[in-house]
C-alpha cells in the first residue's frame, strides 16, 4: 500500500511565495503614495498649479472650460505627465495599455481623490479611459 501524501509543505511554500509577492506589491504602493505627484512642487509645475487650481474650482472635469485651462498651462501639465507614470498621457498613444498594475491602482486612487473636488462629476470611467 502506498504512503499517503501530506500536502502541507507544498501548500505552505505556495502561501509564503504569495505573501512575498503581496509584500512586494504593497511596498511599491506605499512608496508610490509617498512620492505621488511630487513634481507638482517643482518649479516646472507649481506656478501652473497655483494658477490652475483656482480656475478649475467648480469646473466640471472634461468640460470645454476644463480643457481650456489645461491647454493654457500645457507645458506644465506635459511635464507632470512625463514625470508621473500613473497618468495615461505618460505612455503617449499607448495610454492605459502602457501601464502596469501599480500604475493602474495609483491612477484609480488619484481619480477617486480628484473626484472629491467636484462630487457631482464623480469618477467617469468612460471619459477617463
Q: Transcribe the chain into DSSP letters.
A: -PPPP--HHHHHHHHHHHHHHHHHHHHHHHHHHHHTTGGGGSTTTHHHHHHHHHHHTTPPTTSHHHHHHHHHTHHHHHHHHHH-TTSGGGGGGGGGGG--HHHHHHHHHHHHHHHTTSTTT---HHHH-
pLDDT value, residue 129: 66
Whole-number percent of the chain with pLDDT over 90: 78
Domain boundaries, the chain: 37-128
Calculate what percentage of the chain has a pLDDT beyond 70: 95
**pLDDT of residue 126 exceeding 90:** no
pLDDT at 121 over 80: no
pLDDT digits (tens, 9 = 90+) for 35-73: 999 999 999 999 999 999 999 988 888 889 999 999 999
Q: Tell me the C-alpha distance between 103 and 87, whole Å.
A: 8
**pLDDT at residue 125 above 80?**
no
Task: Give the integer Cα–Cα distance in Å for 83 and 20.
Answer: 29
Amino acid at each position: 500500500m502506498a504512503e499517503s501524501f501530506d500536502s502541507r509543505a507544498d501548500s505552505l511554500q505556495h502561501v509564503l511565495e504569495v505573501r512575498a509577492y503581496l509584500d512586494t506589491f504593497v511596498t511599491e504602493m506605499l512608496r508610490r503614495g509617498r512620492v505621488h505627484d511630487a513634481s507638482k512642487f517643482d518649479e516646472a509645475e507649481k506656478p501652473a498649479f497655483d494658477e490652475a487650481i483656482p480656475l478649475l474650482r467648480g469646473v466640471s472635469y472634461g468640460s470645454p472650460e476644463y480643457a481650456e485651462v489645461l491647454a493654457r498651462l500645457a507645458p506644465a501639465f506635459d511635464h507632470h505627465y512625463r514625470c508621473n507614470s500613473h497618468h495615461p498621457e505618460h505612455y503617449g498613444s499607448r495610454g492605459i495599455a502602457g501601464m502596469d498594475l501599480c500604475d493602474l491602482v495609483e491612477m484609480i486612487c488619484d481619480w477617486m481623490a480628484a473626484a472629491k473636488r467636484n462630487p457631482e462629476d464623480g469618477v467617469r470611467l468612460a471619459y477617463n479611459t
